[in-house]
Amino acid sequence: MSGPLSASKEVEEFMSGLRRRNPAEPEFQQAVQEVVETVMPYVLDNRQYYDNRILERMTEPDRVVMFRVSWEDDNGEVRANRAWRVQFNNSIGPYKGGMRFAGDLNLSVLKFLGFEQTFKNALTSLPMGGAKGGANFNPKGRSDREVMRFCHSLMIELHRHIGESTDVPAGDIGVGAREIGYMFGQYKRLENRFVGAMTGKGLEYGGSLIRKEATGYGTVYFVQNMLEHIGDSVAGKRFVISGSGNVATYAAEKILQLGGKPLTLSDSSGTIHDPAGITHEKLAYVKELKEVRRGRISEYAEEYPGATFMAGKKPWGVACDIALPCATQNELDLDGAKELVKNKCRVVAEGANMPTTLEAVHFLIENGVLFGPAKAVNAGGVAVSGLEQSQNSLRISWDAEEVETRLRNIMREIHNRCTKYGEEKGGAINYVKGANIAGFEKVAASMVNYGIV
């Protein structure tokens, strides 16, 4: 019962069952398909996973909590939003994963993110299960006090489902230091305990140095490992980056530190292209623009006239050696992948979660582009969140150098695991396969040990 033919039949049967059970959840179906395509041959070769129906059990969340968040806006109007916490799998440790605030958020997106998080957290080798949560609340254009009232109200329900040994939420899109502060403050007040029940906290109250840089830095460390594996380095390489948030800006910073050249950044309104390269000074401007002034990336082109703003455009048409999608899901589609291949891009690494469509992933790999999947590439963020939890439990804080050294080592270990399970005939590395099997193996082995639960 093994070999490519039976594996593809098993994938089709498995996916048709999953689609039937989870209709109208395209993002979740896509994330599962990407994993099952590469893991099924391994499952067929390791019958204990097949016989124990591990894939069926792993694709059902342990539980989903959905609740109402009522709050009052600055005009005295009463508002009602919907929030979720998807606790996907705690086989290898307490649930861990970010909270996302976005107007169009839905359960399909959160299930895809929670599923991915389970594998990612396993890859870090830290004891963390997988979860994700958030609300269909858009903080853009809301005053500080409105955001505060929303976060406080949300935590009145969420606090009973989380805790330092149960479930430890963090930030994600729309949830930065400000939102974490409001949520953690309310948690502490409701529980009357100061414990590390959230990560991404401010440095003054239990946060870790390097946490805010971790995902972007880790992304570039992973790319550095990919390049070193083929005898190359970051120095001198041209990068296109999408997004201008936390992941994108710190990825650009690490690229500069390693001698590479970032050419683009973007937001939901378009892309800026700076042929002279985005320098440390220009990056400081972007951070101030996005984090403090909460402005639009188009303002970069007004500040630096050598740069152009391409309204409504993604950055994939700009010639580069390496592309880092760092904004949101499904932002790099087949057309974008074709442009990258045409321009001889050699590496694509996902800083964001599932930014590349399945068709685009297949096209890039078939055309010899080294493709680093999110669950390996951007695992540095949750890894340093795990280190924040350790520091909170120990009631100590490590200096920046200590945390960054640990981050660099974790990223190297993740890369090693990808090469162990992802090597194809001829020696090329299929990172999608490597990351999926390495993450699956750890969670699956634990589930088998627990019996039928």
Catalytic residue ranges: 132
Rounded Cα–Cα distance for residues 361 and 104 (Å): 25
Q: Is 353 in the site for ligand NDP (CB under 6 A)?
A: yes
φ/ψ of residue 427, rounded to 5: 95, -10
> What is the per-residue DSSP string for 354-419?
S-B-HHHHHHHHHTT-EEE-HHHHTHHHHHHHHHHHHHHHHT----HHHHHHHHHHHHHHHHHHHH
Binding part of the chain for ligand NDP, among 170-178, 304-312, 316-324, 388-396 by CB under 6 A, reads: 170-178
In this chain, which of 328, 356, 391, 392 binds ligand NDP, going by CB under 6 A?
328
Strand order across the beta sheet in which 370-372 lies: 261-262, 238-241, 322-324, 347-349, 370-372
State which residue has the least CB distance to ligand NDP: 245
Q: Is 243 in the site for ligand NDP (CB under 6 A)?
A: yes
Q: Is 174 in the site for ligand NDP (CB under 6 A)?
A: yes
In this chain, which of 123, 247, 256, 289 binds ligand NDP, going by CB under 6 A?
247
Shortest distance, CB of residue 431 to ligand NDP, whole angstroms?
16
Closest to ligand NDP by CB, 220 vs 447, is: 220
Q: Is 327 in the site for ligand NDP (CB under 6 A)?
A: yes
Closest to ligand NDP by CB, 41 vs 245, is: 245
349 by DSSP, 3-state: which?
strand
Rounded Cα–Cα distance for residues 390 and 168 (Å): 12
Kindly state the number of chain residues that form the binding site for ligand NDP, as judged by CB under 6 A: 23
CA nearest to 131, candidates 64, 208, 186: 64
Hey, CA dihedral for 46, 49, 50, 56, is it positive or negative?
Answer: negative
Binding pattern to ligand NDP, positions 287-326, x when CB under 6 A? ---------------------------------------x
Q: Is 352 in the site for ligand NDP (CB under 6 A)?
A: yes
φ/ψ bin of 80: left (φ > 0), alpha (ψ from -120 to 50), beta (otherwise): beta
Binding part of the chain for ligand NDP, among 15-23, 75-83, 165-173, 444-452 by CB under 6 A, reads: 165-173
CA nearest to 67, candidates 91, 52, 86: 86
Rounded Cα–Cα distance for residues 161 and 427 (Å): 46
In this chain, which of 245, 372, 373, 422 binds ligand NDP, going by CB under 6 A?
245
In this chain, which of 116, 167, 267, 339 binds ligand NDP, going by CB under 6 A?
267
Closest to ligand NDP by CB, 41 vs 243, is: 243
CA nearest to 382, candidates 117, 183, 184: 117
Partner residues linked to 98 by β-bridges: 170
> What is the per-residue DSSP string for 47-100?
HHHHHTTHHHHHTS-SEEEEEEEEEE-TTS-EEEEEEEEEEEE-SSSSEEEEEE
Closest to ligand NDP by CB, 269 vs 416, is: 269
Binding pattern to ligand NDP, positions 405-444, x when CB under 6 A? ----------------------------------------
Closest to ligand NDP by CB, 48 vs 269, is: 269
Rounded Cα–Cα distance for residues 31 and 21 (Å): 15
In this chain, which of 29, 199, 378, 430 binds ligand NDP, going by CB under 6 A?
378
Shortest distance, CB of residue 78 to ligand NDP, whole angstroms?
26
In this chain, which of 16, 268, 308, 405 binds ligand NDP, going by CB under 6 A?
268
Q: Is 153 in the site for ligand NDP (CB under 6 A)?
A: no
Closest to ligand NDP by CB, 380 vs 422, is: 380
Q: Is 381 in the site for ligand NDP (CB under 6 A)?
A: yes
Residue recorded with tokens 């970032």: 262
Residues forming contacts to ligand NDP in the complex (CB under 6 A) are 171-174, 215, 243-248, 267-269, 326-328, 331, 351-353, 378, 381
